[in-house]
Amino acid sequence: MAELKGRVRIATNVCKGCGLCTVACPVDIMVFNGNSVNLKGYQPPTITEPAKCTGCGNCAQMCPDSALTVERFTSKKEDPACLKA
């Protein structure tokens, strides 16, 4: 069976820096690194190792501001199915 992977897009200017996504990620790749501040003055998360994303969607489901979009695909074939909180 092909391995499920994910790709996360962050709408950085929608983020309010609450950190819920960083807690929800089972592989701990959503982090605050202090490198950026958005137009609202909040710090959005950064994805440290995108290749480790499993596409589980936990981060997008937890985000209270729908700032995250997770695309799921397999190592064999792109899957157009898109999960958005």
Query: Under the rule (CB under 6 A), what is the footprint of ligand SF4?
Result: 6, 8, 15-21, 24-27, 29-30, 44-45, 53-59, 62-63, 65, 67-68, 70
Minimal distance in Å, beta carbon 74 to ligand SF4?
A: 14
Taking every pair of Cα atoms in the chain, the longest distance, rounded to a whole number of angstroms, is 44
**CB nearer ligand SF4, residue 66 or residue 76:** 66
Cα separation of 50 and 48, whole Å? 6
Number of residues assigned to the chain:
85
Q: How far is CA 4 from CA 21, 35, 53, 68, 73, in A?
A: 20, 30, 9, 18, 6
**CB nearer ligand SF4, residue 63 or residue 73:** 63
Minimal distance in Å, beta carbon 24 to ligand SF4?
A: 5
**CB nearer ligand SF4, residue 54 or residue 79:** 54
DSSP state of 61: H
